[in-house]
Structure 1
Amino acid sequence: MTDKTKMRILGLIGGTSWHSTAEYYRNINQSVNDYFGDNTNPPLLLFNLNQSLVHRYQIEDKWEKIADLIVDGGLRLQKAGAESLLLCANTPHKVFEIVEDQLSIPIIHIADATARVIKRQNLSSVCFLGTKFSMEEEFITSRISKYDIDVLVPPDSKTIEELHRIIQKELTYGEIIMSSKKFVLDFIKSMINSGAEGVILGCTEFPLLITQADISIPIFNTTEIHSKAATEYILNLNNK
């Protein structure tokens, strides 16, 4: 068992949204509590991004500005003693390489953690739900595909825009609307008919809306998966 005094310090870059960041914080703390069987808490540092500013830069297509915000947070956490970082959402991974190049500590990538879990279940085809940026572009899906996994995304812009709207106009504010849940479930059913063996909740807000009880195929909750990878890092279990 890991020595309680030798846990590694992890920096969290959150705020996109704070609702899902709170889930990361809860998951990691609970996992460490469970590992030790008591109330031992992990050494975590948090830098909270301004989501309103991030959304503005997304709309303006100023991803270099978003990268600057994340790098600033990463450098602050690095200076404060973080030994590794976690970007607590899928979409910020669009600028992963830019951020990684400007920091001297590693970043635990959400796509790598997710792909490894999918491979352990021997699945070859999954559908991916996320923001329009992560569905239209390949900074998450192509990284998962490198593990010989076929990643299906919505085939039409109308579906992509509606999924994106649900995330940014509802879930990031903590609002759960049943008509939106039905829309998402109907889309997942269509993907199952297209051959999907599992579904990646590739936006860290989607688990607020969809659970395993809602569908028949395996759900891959990237918030939980990423949190578990973080816990393994903190406890130095990934090298054992």
Structure 2
Amino acid sequence: MTHADEPAVIGLLGGMSWPSTLTYYRAVNEGVGKALGGSHSARVVIWSQDYAEVERLQLAGDWEGAGELLAAGARRLAAAGADMVAIACNTMHRVSGAVRAACDLPLIDIVEVTAEATRRRGIARAAVLGTRFTSQGGLFDGALAARGVEPVRPGAGDQRLIDRIIYDELCRGTVSDWAAAAFTDLRERLRGDGVDGAVLACTELGLLLTPAERVSPAVVDTVDVHVEALVTASLRGRTGAPVHPS
């Protein structure tokens, strides 16, 4: 059990894919270290799925099975002493209900914190860029619309490009110059169509960004805002960290 003077334990459902889980682990530790100073780091428990099994369930459309898989992981995190749960994957938030039902721990929802961050940045029309299950499935549409942001889905050709980059490269730990250039070109074309911001609704897509792109207010990386929310939840009551992601 976490004592009052200790950060709460973050429970991560990871492995979807492992490169994005590495990003989460590094970022939450950096966030806690920055907030508390010295040699402080985050209190984290990770349950890492075998992504091949997750991918198989996604492609088969077996979302009930996928929910059961993540629910089992959430119960493991609870048993290991986590104080909260986070799904380190956008697409798998489709089964967030199963995770919530699996244990009594609060779920820090990537969809809600991302939609709020998009609103706070003043983005009116946001391209939602992620796997076809996320973008075309409308995972973010309701949360964005409820905050006055118009979600824009990629066209069929652009969606195939995004899926190719995610599944064939990023999920396997590859970040090629071709993929980075293609993704930059896609965002430029969307801006030309009147989109004034992009939600990187896949936890690997941030790997394609240049340092300058990472700090652009027009690019909302779901990993960044999710990690900020996790650090805030872990440290609430100890620091002056903001409650809302910027």
TM-score by length of 2: 0.90
Measured in 2, the distance between the counterparts of 1:208 and 1:117 equals 20
Residue equivalent to 1:201: 200
Residue equivalent to 2:212: 213
Measured in 1, the distance between the counterparts of 2:148 and 2:210 equals 26
Q: Does 1:175 align with 2:192?
A: no
Measured in 1, the distance between the counterparts of 2:133 and 2:242 equals 30
Residue equivalent to 2:118: 118
Measured in 2, the distance between the counterparts of 1:98 and 1:139 equals 16
Other structure's SS at 2:5 match: helix
Measured in 2, the distance between the counterparts of 1:190 and 1:175 equals 24
Instruction: Give the residue type in structure 2 aligned to 1:197.
Output: D
Q: Deviations over 1:142-173 (max 9, x none)?
A: 22222111111112x22212211110110111
Question: Displacement of 1:178 after TM fit?
Answer: 2.1
Residue equivalent to 2:183: 184
For structure 2, the 5+ residue unaligned runs are none
Measured in 1, the distance between the counterparts of 2:33 and 2:98 equals 34
Question: Displacement of 1:99 after TM fit?
Answer: 2.0
Other structure's SS at 1:127 match: strand
Q: CA RMSD in A?
A: 2.0
Question: Displacement of 1:214 after TM fit?
Answer: 4.8
Change (3 A) 1:197 1:212: farther
Measured in 1, the distance between the counterparts of 2:16 and 2:49 equals 7
Query: Structure 1 runs of 4+ off > 6 angstroms?
Result: none
Question: Displacement of 1:101 after TM fit?
Answer: 2.3
Residue equivalent to 1:74: 74
Other structure's SS at 1:6 match: coil
Asked if the contact 1:212–1:218 (Cα under 8 Å) also holds between the matched residues in 2, the reply is no
For structure 1, the 5+ residue unaligned runs are none
Q: Does 1:158 align with 2:166?
A: no
Measured in 2, the distance between the counterparts of 1:116 and 1:127 equals 15
Change (3 A) 1:211 1:128: farther
Measured in 2, the distance between the counterparts of 1:147 and 1:212 equals 28
Measured in 2, the distance between the counterparts of 1:188 and 1:166 equals 14
Asked if the contact 1:93–1:140 (Cα under 8 Å) also holds between the matched residues in 2, the reply is no
After alignment, is 30-39 or 143-152 more displaced? 143-152
Measured in 1, the distance between the counterparts of 2:4 and 2:27 equals 18
Measured in 2, the distance between the counterparts of 1:149 and 1:87 equals 24
Instruction: Give the residue type in structure 1 aligned to 2:56.
Output: R
Instruction: Give the residue type in structure 2 aligned to 1:174.
Output: G
Residue equivalent to 1:86: 86
Instruction: Give the residue type in structure 1 aligned to 2:229.
Output: A
Asked if the contact 2:70–2:98 (Cα under 8 Å) also holds between the matched residues in 1, the reply is no
After alignment, is 4-13 or 31-40 more displaced? 4-13
Residue equivalent to 2:46: 46
Instruction: Give the residue type in structure 1 aligned to 2:111.
Output: A
Asked if the contact 2:90–2:202 (Cα under 8 Å) also holds between the matched residues in 1, the reply is yes
Asked if the contact 1:124–1:148 (Cα under 8 Å) also holds between the matched residues in 2, the reply is yes
TM-score by length of 1: 0.92
Other structure's SS at 1:179 match: helix
Query: How many residues are paired up?
Result: 237
